[in-house]
Amino acid sequence: MTRTPIDPVKLDKLAEVAIRVGLQLAEGQDLVLTGPSTALPLIRKIAEHAYKAGAGVVTPIISDEEVILARYRHANAASFDKAANWLYEGMASAFSRNAARLAIAGDNPMMLAGQDPAKVARANKANSMAYKPALEKITGFDVNWNIVAYPSPAWAKQVFPDDAEDVAIEKLANAIFAASRVDLADPISAWKEHNANLKKRWSWLNAHAFASLAYTGPGTDVTIGLADGHQWKGGASQSKNGITCNPNIPTEEVFTTPHALRVEGYVSSTKPLSHNGTLIDGIRVKFEGGRIVEAKATKGEDVLNKVMDTDEGGRRIGEVALVPHSSPISQSGILFYNTLFDENAASHIALGQCYADCFINGKSLTPEQIQAQGGNKSLIHIDWMIGSDKIDIDGIKADGSRVPVMRKGEWATA
Ligand code: ZN
Ligand code: ZN
């Protein structure tokens, strides 16, 4: 028997946590599962746990790096404005029939690094447009959904470039297992406790009903207005089909919807952002009336500006999230080159689409009502990290009074 760098017991626990904590898959529920071909061992384990939990039909949709690169190498020009609309229509149809959604992250973060940025942008745009009907059912939280990660070889080498491949995979696997709490004796009850802690934080924020948050720190001096009727969330939450799930594994954030028109000042990023194979670093933007009127980056500035020009909402923000600097992912000191992990290492904001569920009665609001209350609308949703141990955040109430929320990157209250 050959030794595998990925602990099979922990991998099995990760699959179990994805089904029982992440999705809380219901008896008889179908499951649409997406992931890279490199993640087949986890895809198989997830299918096993899904059927053990009573799944109807599990349908895996597998992507492959070589197939994607073949397109960039050999496809004709017209290919880059096309997308598999039929597939996304099918996914949207599955979600309207109450299928759950599970995505496995683990793609090579630098997969498209050497490709023509114009082709990448066109292909992404075509894909985003085709994906929209299905994505709206996820962002609108129609069904229970979940993302977990798998330590694919190229990703592992990106995170640990100085190690041999099997060592890098083992290190990344262990980092994923720790962050996903599957290295603990009882991951299911560990998640219950973690969800309760997150609930304590978002309940406190909701009770204060701040009108805005003011951030100060190196390169950052910004006031972020919060949307009218916003509510804070984090950890487990209930989807429209009545199932309480944990969409992100791992997760350390509490988050809400900012007001698309009420952001003023300067923000600097505190960690690099890996976006479709490009590393964007040293971001510094200026907001006026909620819109980014100036964006600079020491690396990837072109890509940043291009992606923000996807549509009108691409230069406005749709999410504001708070993560203490002491979060386990932050303390691991690892840059994962993957938003699922890196966004949980620091407080962040996201360019683009807001989450309808971050409004009081959000599930029953129309897209027009959400927009009227300040929710942003865009084809993109890109999180970037603005938190560190040097950031102070105050909550500002409607009457102008201020309450400390975070000091030096940590919660200001016990
Ligand atoms: Zn977030
Ligand atoms: Zn986000």
Q: Is 235 left (phi over 0), alpha (psi -120 to 50) or beta?
A: left
At 177 the pLDDT is: 96
Interval between CA 5 and ligand 2 midpoint (Å): 31
Contacts of 4 (CB under 8 A, 6+ apart): none
What are the beta bridge partners of residue 341? Answer: none
Q: Which two tokens stand for residue 41?
A: 């061992």
User: CA-CA distance, 200 to 249, in Å (whole number)?
Assistant: 19
At 327 the pLDDT is: 87
Selection from 236, 248, 238, 241 nearest residue 94 by Cα:
241
| Local confidence band at 339 (pLDDT 50, 70, 90 cut-offs) | confident
Sign of CA dihedral 362, 368, 370, 376: positive
- The residue whose two tokens read 């690099």 is 272
Which residues keep their CB under 5 angstroms from ion ligand 1?
A: 253, 255, 321, 343
User: CA-CA distance, 345 to 388, in Å (whole number)?
Assistant: 9
Each residue's pLDDT tens digit, 17-45: 999 999 999 999 999 999 999 999 999 99
Q: Are 362 and 228 in contact (CB under 8 A)?
A: no
Interval between CA 52 and ligand 2 midpoint (Å): 31
At 338 the pLDDT is: 87
Q: What is the mean pLDDT of residues 190-201?
A: 96
| Local confidence band at 278 (pLDDT 50, 70, 90 cut-offs) | confident
Interval between CA 340 and ligand 1 midpoint (Å): 8
Helix runs in 54-186, H state only: 65-74, 85-96, 117-139, 153-159, 165-179
Of residues 141 and 161, the one with the higher pLDDT is 161
Question: Domain limits of the chain?
Answer: 8-179, 209-232+254-411
Of residues 321 and 276, the one with the higher pLDDT is 321
What are the beta bridge partners of residue 233? Answer: 255
At 3 the pLDDT is: 66
Q: Are 232 and 358 in contact (CB under 8 A)?
A: yes
On average, the pLDDT of the chain sits at 95
At 266 the pLDDT is: 98
Interval between CA 158 and ligand 1 midpoint (Å): 23
Q: What is the mean pLDDT of residues 60-89?
A: 97
Helix (H) or strand (E) holding 322: strand 317-322
Interval between CA 58 and ligand 2 midpoint (Å): 27
Report CA 240 to chain centroid distance, whole Å: 20
Selection from 248, 255, 175 nearest residue 213 by Cα:
255
Each residue's pLDDT tens digit, 343-377: 899 999 999 999 888 999 987 899 999 999 999 99
Interval between CA 384 and ligand 1 midpoint (Å): 9
Each residue's pLDDT tens digit, 175-187: 999 999 999 999 9
Q: Are 142 and 72 in contact (CB under 8 A)?
A: no
At 110 the pLDDT is: 84
Q: What is the mean pLDDT of residues 250-266?
A: 97
At 297 the pLDDT is: 97
Q: Which two tokens stand for residue 264?
A: 């003023």
The pTM (predicted TM-score) of the whole model is 0.87
Question: Regarding the domain with residue range 8-179, which homologous superfamily does it belong to in the CATH classification?
Answer: Thermophilic metalloprotease (M29) (3.40.1830.10)
At 229 the pLDDT is: 97
Give the up-direction half-sphere exposure of residue 26: CA atoms within 13 A in the CB hemisphere.
13
| 8-17 helix and 187-208 helix, angle to the nearest 10 degrees | 40
Which residues keep their CB under 5 angstroms from ion ligand 2?
A: 319, 350, 383
User: CA-CA distance, 169 to 179, in Å (whole number)?
Assistant: 15
Q: Is 291 a residue whose pLDDT tops 70?
A: yes
User: CA-CA distance, 379 to 105, in Å (whole number)?
Assistant: 20
Which amino acid does the sequence have at 192? Answer: K
At 53 the pLDDT is: 97
Report in angstroms the alpha-carbon separations of 236 from 43, 116, 326.
Answer: 23, 40, 21
Query: What is the number of residues in the chain?
Result: 414
Cis bond before residue 250 (omega within 30° of 0): yes
Interval between CA 253 and ligand 1 midpoint (Å): 6
Each residue's pLDDT tens digit, 384-398: 999 999 999 999 999
Give the up-direction half-sphere exposure of residue 121: CA atoms within 13 A in the CB hemisphere.
13
Interval between CA 76 and ligand 2 midpoint (Å): 34
Gap between the terminal Cα atoms of the chain: 51
